[in-house]
Chain A
Amino acid sequence: MARAVVSLPATVKRGEIVEIKTLVQHAMETGFRRTQLGIAIPRDIIRLFVCTYNGEEIFRAEFHPAIAANPLLTFTTVATESGSIAFTWTGDKGFSLTESARITVE
């Protein structure tokens, strides 16, 4: 039941640079920590983030254990046409989360 918040302008002009912000809820357990009894806590992180714009991949990020919990990513793209932008986070322990947003290009 992880949550994600994505934010981008709903309508933009053609050719304009669009800033996209994504925030996802995840503890990002590094795998380097141990419990008080010395038992290693298994790694549980998001491994990959992919953003597609009308099916075409426009941004990809690989995550490693040093990434903060609840990772916040900000990136930009050029508005080419109206359509949908899809965001997918996948990670350890079968973590998978998808979010999408509409964008209208005038």
Chain B
Amino acid sequence: MSARRGGRPLPALAAACVVLGFTQAAPAAEIPSAERRSGYEFMSRETRAMQDDDATNPAVLWLLDGEALWNRKDGAAGRACADCHGNARASMKGAAARHPAWDAAAGRPVNLEQRINACRAGRQQAAPLAYESRDLLALTAYVARQSRGMPVDIAIDKRTKPFLDAGRDTFMRRQGQLNLACTQCHDELWGRKLAGSTIPQAHPTGYPLYRLEWQGLGSLQRRLRNCLTGMRAEPYPFGAPEFVDLELYLMWRARGMKMESPAVRP
């Protein structure tokens, strides 16, 4: 918002705009790639050690469940994931690093959870697993584990571009009673403190992850709902297209960064 119109200052109007929160901040520049940091780097030494060691990372318990589910026959087709995909260690390598990815049947990008449920419905003829259910988290974590250490690799083409732009718009748009945009904290104020916690850059490289605050495993959408509630905005329901677009933007924003799934966060 410019305080000048026709060369003459309008101080009263400008002041009113500031008070009412109408000022339009210029969209923050994307964080340069050399300055991008995973949330891992903002954690304490103890929490990092917890994530790095498979003997202490509590998400390992979900990985064991996920491996069992991968090999379990399910649905009317009586097929297990392993019957088509074989060993996940080979076949699922890099899958999580590429999602959200374009899905021709849905006509839009889908995230990993949606891809798993589409596979369940189509190939196994089984009922979809509920968002944040133990089984879906376990299976997603097991698939995502196979991408650990690989760079995030989101391909944007003519089909996915509009969804990426929609996700970026959500990230940049002020919303909620606090009138905040994601970008204000995560592009402009990362590294500073919000209450007692360090503001991270919001790179979703470790999902689904074990959050100590949750005392359990959770998806990226659960985390996004937390953020929206904190901004006093109404969170989208699980699986909402707005969320998947935002996931796509966040993953694209973290392109090239290393996958950590399943990570540990405070």
| Structural contact, A5 and B215, CB atoms closer than 8 A | no
**CA A6 to CA B58, docked complex, whole Å:** 12
Chain A CB within 8 A of B65 CB: yes
Query: Which residues of A (1-51) have their CB < 8 Å from a CB of B?
Result: 3, 5-7, 21, 23, 25, 27-28
13 A–B contact pairs at CB < 8 A?
A3-B64, A3-B65, A5-B55, A5-B61, A7-B55, A21-B56, A23-B55, A23-B61, A27-B215, A28-B215, A68-B215, A72-B50, A72-B58
Most buried by A among B54, B58, B60: B58
Chain B residues proximal to chain A, CB less than 8 Å: 50, 53-56, 58, 60-61, 64-65, 212, 215-216
Given contacts A23-B55, A23-B61, 10 further A-B pairs with CB under 8 A are A3-B61, A3-B65, A5-B64, A23-B56, A27-B216, A28-B215, A68-B215, A70-B58, A72-B58, A74-B56
Chain A residues within 8 Å of B212, by CB: 68
**CA A6 to CA B60, docked complex, whole Å:** 11
- Min Cβ gap A67→B in Å is 11
| Structural contact, B56 and A25, CB atoms closer than 8 A | no
Chain B CB within 8 A of A103 CB: no
**CA A51 to CA B71, docked complex, whole Å:** 32
Chain A residues within 8 Å of B61, by CB: 3, 5, 23, 25, 70
Smallest CB gap from A20: residue in B: B55
- Min Cβ gap A10→B in Å is 13
- Min Cβ gap A5→B in Å is 6
| Structural contact, A69 and B215, CB atoms closer than 8 A | yes
Chain B residues within 8 Å of A69, by CB: 215-216
- Please report the number of residue pairs spanning A and B whose Cβ atoms sit closer than 8 angstroms: 35
Chain A residues proximal to chain B, CB less than 8 Å: 3, 5-7, 21, 23, 25, 27-28, 68-70, 72, 74
- Min Cβ gap B141→A in Å is 13
**CA A80 to CA B55, docked complex, whole Å:** 23
Chain B residues within 8 Å of A27, by CB: 215-216
**CA A4 to CA B116, docked complex, whole Å:** 26
Chain B residues within 8 Å of A6, by CB: 55
| Structural contact, B216 and A5, CB atoms closer than 8 A | no
**CA A72 to CA B210, docked complex, whole Å:** 13
Smallest CB gap from B58: residue in A: A70
**CA A5 to CA B212, docked complex, whole Å:** 18
* In the A-B complex, the 5 residue pairs with the closest CB atoms: A7-B55, A69-B215, A25-B61, A70-B58, A21-B55
| Structural contact, B215 and A72, CB atoms closer than 8 A | no
- Min Cβ gap A94→B in Å is 20
Chain B residues within 8 Å of A21, by CB: 53, 55-56
Most buried by A among B55, B56, B64: B55
**CA A6 to CA B64, docked complex, whole Å:** 13
- Min Cβ gap A95→B in Å is 15
